[in-house]
């Protein structure tokens, strides 16, 4: 089972066990977050929301808070000067633990999944 979920204006296709980096959420590491803005649930049958799927929910666990690598931006005025700016975007790492479709179906992360090690911390 997979789904498309919207988090802070961005859409992500996720399935149980996926590790995704999203824009910074104000949560501590180890906390569980419930994402209710599910746009589509796929599997044996596909459920498309108008605009969201009623009763569908994605449960995820926060595994890290970090910042991306530095990006340099160069600005130049012809013949005069050059300025070098840097930017590092903050992000939150989430492991998807469970997806429920709102009609009684659900999918959970397997204990043998490669990202299940993040859930025991």
Could you give the angle at the alpha carbon of 91 between the alpha carbons of 50 and 13, nearest 5°?
35
Tens digits of residue pLDDT in 37-95 = 999 999 888 889 889 999 999 999 999 999 999 998 888 888 777 788 899 999 999 99
The pTM of the full predicted model, rounded to 2 decimals, is: 0.82
Beta-strand pair 38-42/106-108? unpaired
Q: What six digits make up the tokens of 29? A: 């590491």
- How far apart CA 9 and CA 85 sit, in angstroms, is 26
């Amino acid at each position: 089972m997979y789904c498309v979920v919207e988090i802070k204006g961005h859409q992500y296709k996720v399935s149980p066990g996926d590790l995704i980096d999203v824009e910074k959420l104000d949560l501590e590491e180890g906390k569980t977050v419930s994402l209710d803005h599910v746009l589509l649930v796929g599997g044996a049958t596909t459920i498309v929301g108008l605009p969201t799927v009623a009763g569908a929910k994605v449960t995820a666990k926060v595994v890290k808070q970090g910042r991306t690598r530095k990006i340099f931006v160069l600005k130049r005025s012809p013949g005069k000067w050059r300025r070098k700016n840097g930017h590092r975007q903050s992000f939150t790492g989430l492991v998807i633990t469970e997806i429920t479709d709102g009609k009684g179906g659900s999918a959970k992360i397997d204990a043998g999944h490669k990202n299940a090690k993040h859930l025991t911390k």
